[in-house]
Structure 1
Amino acid sequence: MDTLAALLQDEMDRRHSRLMARRFKLSGLDERPVLADFDWRFNPKLPRGACFELHTLKFLSEGANALIVGKPGTGKSHIAKAVTYQATLQGYDVSYVEADSEFARYSLADADERARLLKGWVGADLLVLDDLFLARRISEHAAELLQALVHQRYKLRRSIVITSNRIVQDWGRYLGDATMATTILDRLMHRCAMLEFEGKSYRLKEAAARLVITSDPA
């Protein structure tokens, strides 16, 4: 019986591993970041408590959203990816989207491809839009996509996490439509945690460190 139980457990473990691998592949992530890897000492004013609260994924059961805004290089994407990865580990179907490139792809796609993309992003348990408005002004098709995503997921009480370098007061300018921005933000902010990231850039720190190593005559 012990041998049979061990074989059954081994098969269950294998199936679980395959399922986790499949969820990760479908999530859109290309890495597995965790909050334990984050250097909180570099920018001590970051909302650490709010980040760990987000990492518990309680907001998913509430159909709530999260908006992470702040200067470039302060760790917004790392936190969003860590939350995304944690959600895959907990069995959620997740779509992590680099907003700038994927919205551009959507704008150039035909009707069938747009419908497929929209269906996948609306249907995910968690949708993460990373670096929204990275290119500032987005296309009309991309603006309509954002409105559709927020509207449909709001009705379904499905959560969205958005990271952006742009303050919400400027969204109307980047969308090219102040009324649309108001409509989007009204639904997005109804049930939403707002995390503001301030401080120095990790990327500039790493670039400076590489420069020092390169310049070292030893």
Structure 2
Amino acid sequence: MNHKDIYEKIALFSKELKLPYILRHFKEELTEANKDSKTYDTFLYDLLEKEYDLRKDNGRKSRIRSARFPYKKYLEDLIIEDLPEDARNKVKVFSTLEFIETGQNIILAGNPGTGKTHMAIGLGIKACNVGYKVLFTTIPLLVNELKESRSEKNLRAFEKRFEKYDLIIADELGYISFDKEASELLFTYLSLRAGRKSTIITTNLSFERWDEIFKDPVMTAAMIDRLTHKSYIVNMNGNSYRLKETKRWLEEQ
């Protein structure tokens, strides 16, 4: 078999075996290996390592896309001293992602603009980078999806998808109130994860005001009890992080 036939077969095998790095680069890798007089085992090791690295990187990018983040924010971009004191004390602990491993929740509660969503997305992206399955949603969007799934009798399928995530970020609890159906659905599906899988909730309301959203005091108490059990509760009240960020940006222009 001549070189042309061999190369065609390598390309075919790489395509069939879904080895995109080898498919695109095997010729230049062969040239480089011959130039450097690589042994067969070193050549094979280097080639497979690059294929493996590409697959890992593609998986990381796919997890970030699938998470549906509204925009990208990174923990490294947080200006720690601008965060409320309680967040400053806990962000380092959260960044280990141990809370996901132990199935603990994080509730970021405080006035708007103090860095709740930035911190939540930063933790979510870091989780995606190390291999966790993450979903970002707002509470209003989640409620709409639950209602649509119920009306189309697809709640069981939604439940299976909902349970597969290692981390769910549920943003903006408190911006709108819910009717009885929405409250029951939200209670049921957030409770499903309690104690097993992690959820980060951002809210602008203190717990005493959650009955303004859910209307039913008994359900509200049960929801708070389930979500806060063995959870991290972070006081995010403070000066606007977003305003400080904007002022800093304007000063740099």
Task: State the TM-score, normalized to the length of structure 1.
Answer: 0.86
Change beyond 3 A, Cα 1:31–1:46 = same
* 1:24 lines up with 2:64 in the alignment: yes
Structure number with higher relative contact order (C-alpha < 8 Å, ≥ 6 residues apart)? 1
Tell me the equivalent position of 1:103: 143
Report the Cα offset of residue 209 of structure 1.
7.5
Distance 1:207 1:113 in 2: 43
Report the Cα offset of residue 208 of structure 1.
6.5
| Contact 1:63 1:191 survives alignment (8 Å) | no
Report the Cα offset of residue 45 of structure 1.
2.8
Structure in which a larger fraction of residues adopt helix: 2
Deviation larger for 80-89 or 38-47: 38-47
Tell me the equivalent position of 1:161: 200
| Contact 1:96 1:127 survives alignment (8 Å) | yes
Distance 2:194 2:82 in 1: 36
| Contact 1:107 1:139 survives alignment (8 Å) | no
Matches within 5 A, 1:1-218: 1-43=41-83, 45-109=85-149, 110-135=151-176, 137-154=177-194, 157-205=196-244
Structure 2: 5+ residue stretches without partners: 1-40
Change beyond 3 A, Cα 1:3–1:212 = closer
What amino acid maps onto 2:82 in structure 1?
F
What amino acid maps onto 1:169 in structure 2?
E
Report the Cα offset of residue 150 of structure 1.
2.6
- Percent sequence identity is 27
Distance 2:250 2:72 in 1: 27
Distance 1:127 1:5 in 2: 37
- Which of these two proteins has the greater Rg computed from alpha carbons? 2
What amino acid maps onto 1:132 in structure 2?
L
- The number of equivalent residue pairs is 212
Q: Secondary structure at the match of 2:194?
A: helix
Q: Secondary structure at the match of 2:82?
A: coil
RMSD, aligned CA: 2.5
Distance 2:249 2:105 in 1: 37
Distance 1:8 1:211 in 2: 48
Describe the superposition over 1:13-43 as per-residue Cα deviations: whole angstroms up to 9, x where unpaired. Answer: 1111121121111112143322221123334
Structure 1: 5+ residue stretches without partners: none
